Amino acid sequence: MEKIFGQKWTFTKFSKFVFPSILTLIFIALYGMVDGIFISRYVGKEALAGLNMVLPVVSTSLALALMLSAGTNTIIAIKLGEKKEKEARELFTYSIFLTIITGFIMAVLTILFIDQILGLLGVNEKLYEYSKTYIMIYAIFFPIYVPKIFFEYATRTDGNAGYSLFLCVIGGVINIILDYLFIGVYGWGIAGAAWGTVLGLLFAFIAGFLYFLKPKILKLSKFKFNFKFIIESIYIGASNFVNQFSISIATLLFNNIALKYYGELGVAAISIIMYINFMVFSVMIGMSTGMQPVISYNFGSKNYDNIKRVINFAMIIGFTFAIISFLFTYFYNSLIINLFSKDDPALKNLVEHGFKFISFAYLFSGFNIINASTYAALKESLKSIIISINRSLVFIVMGLIIMTNLFEADGLWLTTAFAEFITFITSLLFMIKDVQNSKIFKNKQIIYSTKK
């Protein structure tokens, strides 16, 4: 582990290391995006709207999976940095058990209360069958979905970022193939999209489990119930949960306001925009996720110079990608929109209009995501949670209220940029204060310094 995480990091080494993690998150985003493309093209915009109405349930399941995966693996990485490999292996095995149980509970609750959930989401009669069909199939596979996400994190913690990428890529490829067969060839409609997604997840779960059957740094071991570990993992991973769960709430709010101003057409437009948002944010989140075990390991081994380098490299990549994302989505968004719809000019025009406002959010989102992940990796979870909940919920709600009152329908599209900008100011203040006070490390190292 020392050779991997404790090495002296250069920009090239860091870029190569986080690249698999970035691709992993991109393929996670592709799971939903591919469904959206096939549904929009082969079933119709009402089916696409029906899928988007239940995305809060999918986002909530991902939120729980990310919380447990990030929290447990941060602790495991710190234990490895402290040379406590036996304890790390026990906690690793215990984490697999926790994720399976969590997925099972989620599945039971979703299936039992499906009608109440759809009611809370505001699903109307036109979209009801589409929404229910998709989420019922998806929910059955929650017990493998949650540990599948954990395995992707754990293989990175084990030092094999390439295999983590493989788990996601293979699931994504299977999803694309099965979506084409089930929707395009066999005409199964929205049910075909759901089955394509969950079967891709199942294959990735099996591949992840098989990886840890062979001797590794992390391997299966006896474990015992550890309530303290659960609480600490939840606390550390809380920012991941808050960030993703807030997306669920924001999606619900956006959907209902879109219905108010534009009807089902507005929900379909929101669907396409959110797929692109998730894709852009996934690059930032993927890089942040990839750097977390490095920061946690070096924090455990007190190698603060490495932490400074890694954070600086992440900021450089983050700002560069933010500018590229803004320019592409502002000027060339039609290239993306054509993937979803070529024959519906009303939908295309509405999405193009929305991107003229939303693209500005990308200029600030990278900094916010990197800062939140850095604080989480350093066990400064409160700051991480504040940043995450601000950008994903608090300022979204505030923005929807203020922007729609000032600009009516256009306020819907302005809200995301508003939330990211205000969060950027908050996040920047946290960073400046920590640089000035140097509170994070006892030896007064300043993590954001560009000096070696």
Q: Do residues 203 and 171 lie in contact, with contact meaning Cβ atoms separated by under 8 Å?
A: yes
Residue with tokens 């015992």: 224
**Token representation of residue 104:** 């099972």
**Token representation of residue 306:** 């490495």
Could you read off the pLDDT of 366-396 as tens digits, one per residue? 899 888 888 877 877 788 888 888 888 899 9
Q: For residue 442, what pLDDT is reported?
A: 44
How many Å apart are CA 258 and CA 263, to the nearest integer? 6
Angle at 159 between CA 153 and CA 164, to 5 degrees: 40
Q: Do residues 351 and 52 lie in contact, with contact meaning Cβ atoms separated by under 8 Å?
A: no
The crossing angle, in degrees rounded to 10, of helices 304-331 and 345-358 is 140
Q: Do residues 72 and 98 lie in contact, with contact meaning Cβ atoms separated by under 8 Å?
A: yes
Count Cβ atoms within 10 A of the Cβ of residue 330 and give its class: 0-12 exposed, 13-18 middle, 19 or more buried. Answer: middle
pLDDT over 70 percentage in the chain: 93
How many Å apart are CA 411 and CA 419, to the nearest integer? 12
For residue 215, is pLDDT > 80? no
Confidence of residue 443 (pLDDT cuts 50, 70, 90): very low
For residue 449, is pLDDT > 50? no
Does this model's pTM top 0.75?
Answer: no
pLDDT over 90 percentage in the chain: 29
Q: Which of 204, 296, 249 lies closest to 63 in space, CA to CA?
A: 249
Which DSSP string do the residues of 141-201 spell out, in sequence order?
THHHHHHHHHHHHHHHHTT-HHHHHHHHHHHHHHHHHHHIIIIIIS--THHHHHHHHHHHH
Q: Do residues 311 and 287 lie in contact, with contact meaning Cβ atoms separated by under 8 Å?
A: no
